[in-house]
Amino acid sequence: MPKVGVLTGGGDCPGLNAVIRGIVKSAEAKYGWQVIGIEDSFQGLILPGKTREMDTYKIRGILPQGGTILHSSNRANPFEYSEEVDGKTVVHDVSDRLLERFKELGLEGLIAIGGDGTNRIAARLYDKGLPVVGVPKTIDNDLQATDVTFGFNTAVTTATDALDKLHTTAASHHRVIVMEVMGRYTGWIALESGLAGGADVILMPEIPFDIETVCNKVRHRAEKGAGFSIVVVAEGSKPKDGDVTIVEAGGKGKGMARLGGIGNKVGEHIAECTGMDVRVTVLGHLQRGGSPSAYDRILATRFGGKAMGLVAKGEFGRMVCLKGQTITSVPIHDAITDYKYVPLDSGLILTAEAIGICLGR
């Protein structure tokens, strides 16, 4: 039986296991391939002892499970791999070692499930001869080539649920509650959860905000008798005259910069300019955990089946994607050109402003 390797890279997200299941089930039922699970992202192809045979029995029950049974890492870039050599930590290119290991394992294809970082690595490995197919994953929904990524719907549901809960406590105490959500350099999670959760203010990276406008909105609501306000802030938001707030810089061997902290800054400003009682909630990794929604399970299963189909047909160097209602694929290089920002003329933004939500401008 021909063998295909499967790995999950980057931050985890609800629906990864559903993709793995879609691959294993279709490999077995339709294509007659053996699936080999590769652990800890690309590390499983760099270090020995990190692979396992997978079949329908071994993956039983994983469809509703969050996380990834293959584990993941966002620090496993083979082109900038950090390891100990002669007692010293070096960051170097081990991509040739990875290609060797791929051959030793007798694999004829690789399916890399990940976000922009993982697909960028997959594209570079494809250029070096690795037969790879990408599957887009991220709660941030920020990949250009696909209309939607699985995990996003679940993250929005989690954030909306949190907003419902924050609403009742904010109203009880006449407080302003600021909730910081993930999303990296895009505002999809903030905008959709803010709309679904009835936020009064939504701040997102696509619209650098004026803090005075935000304060005016909160003051205006207080004057009109609403003793509380709910402010949703995407982690990548920045003020008109400032920059994104970073917790930890990224770099060679370290992965991408970690964003976060803007929620506290916005909260401090609102407290100062309105004199109101303000509390800040950083939702953090709750957004990445838990069982995938029905929408994400279906999308992930369709992506898994499609990826396996591409492998079986020998159509490598592609990434599966959703266009409208159709699962299709694009060249993996086209998939990683830029982030998918929320378009400023999108219906979501127009609706938000039409119902009086302040977007900080």
Q: Which residues are catalytic?
A: 140
Taking the complex as a whole, the smallest distance from the CB of residue 222 to ligand F6P amounts, in Å, to 32
> Closest residue to ligand F6P, Cβ-based?
182
- Cα(169)–Cα(177) distance, integer angstroms: 9
Taking the complex as a whole, the smallest distance from the CB of residue 177 to ligand F6P amounts, in Å, to 20
E runs forming strands in the chain: 3-8, 34-38, 51-54, 81-85, 88-92, 109-114, 132-136, 176-181, 201-203, 229-234, 246-248, 258-259, 278-282, 318-323, 326-331
Residue 324 has a CB neighbour count (10 Å cut-off) of 7
Considering the complex, state which of residue 185 and residue 209 has its C-beta at the smaller distance from ligand F6P: 185
- Beta strands 246-248; 109-114: pairing state: unpaired
- Beta strands 109-114; 3-8: pairing state: parallel
Residues in contact with ligand F6P by CB under 6 A are: 11, 74, 115, 138-140, 182-184, 235, 258-259, 288
Considering the complex, state which of residue 140 and residue 296 has its C-beta at the smaller distance from ligand F6P: 140
Taking the complex as a whole, the smallest distance from the CB of residue 117 to ligand F6P amounts, in Å, to 9
166-195 burial, b at 16+ Cβ within 10 Å, e below that, comes to bbeebeeeebbbbbbbbbbbbbbbbbbbbb
Considering the complex, state which of residue 185 and residue 316 has its C-beta at the smaller distance from ligand F6P: 185
Considering the complex, state which of residue 5 and residue 187 has its C-beta at the smaller distance from ligand F6P: 187
Taking the complex as a whole, the smallest distance from the CB of residue 166 to ligand F6P amounts, in Å, to 19
Q: Is 279 exposed, middle or buried (0-12, 13-18, 19+ CB in 10 A)?
A: middle
- Cα(318)–Cα(119) distance, integer angstroms: 10
Residue 48 has a CB neighbour count (10 Å cut-off) of 8
Considering the complex, state which of residue 260 and residue 305 has its C-beta at the smaller distance from ligand F6P: 260
- Cα(37)–Cα(20) distance, integer angstroms: 9
Taking the complex as a whole, the smallest distance from the CB of residue 288 to ligand F6P amounts, in Å, to 5
- 16, 67 contact by CB (below 8 A): yes
- Cα(189)–Cα(195) distance, integer angstroms: 10
Taking the complex as a whole, the smallest distance from the CB of residue 7 to ligand F6P amounts, in Å, to 17
- Cα(316)–Cα(178) distance, integer angstroms: 45
Considering the complex, state which of residue 105 and residue 286 has its C-beta at the smaller distance from ligand F6P: 286
Which tokens belong to 34? Answer: 């053996």
- Cα(115)–Cα(132) distance, integer angstroms: 15
Considering the complex, state which of residue 33 and residue 152 has its C-beta at the smaller distance from ligand F6P: 152
Taking the complex as a whole, the smallest distance from the CB of residue 156 to ligand F6P amounts, in Å, to 12
